[in-house]
Amino acid sequence: MLLALAALPALAQEGHGFTPAELERGGILYFSSCANCHGPDGDQIGGVNLAGNRFRRAQSDTDLIAIVRKGIPGTAMPPAAYTETEAALVVGYLRSMATSGKSRRISLTGDPARGQAVVEGKGKCLNCHTIGSRGSITGPNLTAIGAARRASELELALLDPSVDIRPDNRPVRAVAKDGTKITGTLMNQDTYSLQILDSNGKLRSLSKDTLREHEVMKISPMPSYKGQLSDQEIADVVSYLVSLKGAR
């Protein structure tokens, strides 16, 4: 329950200066406390469009931060137990929603049942991802992906997965001094070691002094489904993924 705000003159864009990781954190906060009422695209309440960045009760980001923290007395908008910094990250995420937009490249209505069939069959998604008790742990868990990602983001991930690699999904490639190649997902790293979930789903700690080379890659190991699935199949898969809200 967050930000029960509605349309009037658009606020001028301000210099937010948030990093991608900070916007990711703002998105997590939004989905944990706001999306239940406002929806993933901020338009679930009639007359309210958070992604449009048009607000009735605010003239600045400072006003918005105050509303996030204190709510709006006399309305259904309650206060939130956020610090000033956390509230600012939520506002930053709302600003980023306006620039990323709700519109999708494929403007077809999807069918979740057909999408599930594609995910579990032709798309081979469970070879890397987990949904409920099924699948592999080498890719991000999708069991609650619909509660954490917007439809437009999910579609983009299917069509161009390298555009927006989330901080917790960063792929790693390493070569040991004996020539052994190691790939996986970065879990953590420090000056002396890398902790990764390797391509076999095994958690490994790699000492950097045993490696010939290593890099955190900017290209996602996930293949693009552009040209592999039809527009209707993409719409169906997105519709299915949006429906995934938790334990199955």
Provide the residue ranges of all domains of the chain, joining segments of one domain with +. Answer: 20-100, 112-163+225-242, 167-216
The CATH architecture of the domain made up of 167-216 is: Roll (2.30)
What is the C-alpha to C-alpha distance for residues 4 and 58, in angstroms, rounded to an integer? 11
Q: How far apart are the first and last CA of the chain?
A: 25
Predicted local confidence at residue 11, as pLDDT: 35
What is the C-alpha to C-alpha distance for residues 149 and 28, in angstroms, rounded to an integer? 9
117-154 pLDDT tens trace:
999 999 999 998 999 999 988 888 899 898 778 888 89
| b/e per residue 233-248 (b: at least 16 CB within 10 A) | bbbbbbbbbbebeeee
pTM above 0.75, yes or no: no
Matching CATH topology for 20-100 and 112-163+225-242?
Answer: yes
Q: How is residue 38 written in tokens?
A: 């406002």
Cβ within 8 Å of residue 110, ≥6 positions away: 232, 235, 236, 237, 238, 239, 240
Q: What is the residue type of 227?
A: G
Predicted local confidence at residue 98, as pLDDT: 73
Predicted local confidence at residue 1, as pLDDT: 38
In degrees, rounded to 5, the angle at the alpha carbon of residue 152 between the alpha carbons of residues 79 and 224 is 140
Q: What is the residue type of 190?
A: D
- What's the mean per-residue pLDDT of the chain? 82
The CATH homologous superfamily for domain 20-100 is Cytochrome c-like domain (1.10.760.10)
16 within 8 A of 92, measured Cβ to Cβ? yes
53 three-state secondary structure: coil
Q: How is residue 49 written in tokens?
A: 């469009």
146-195 pLDDT tens trace:
877 888 889 989 998 887 777 667 888 899 999 999 888 888 888 999 89
Region 219-230 average pLDDT: 91
Pick the CATH number of 112-163+225-242 from 1.10.10.10, 3.40.50.720, 2.30.40.10, 1.10.760.10: 1.10.760.10
pLDDT band for position 72 (50/70/90)? confident
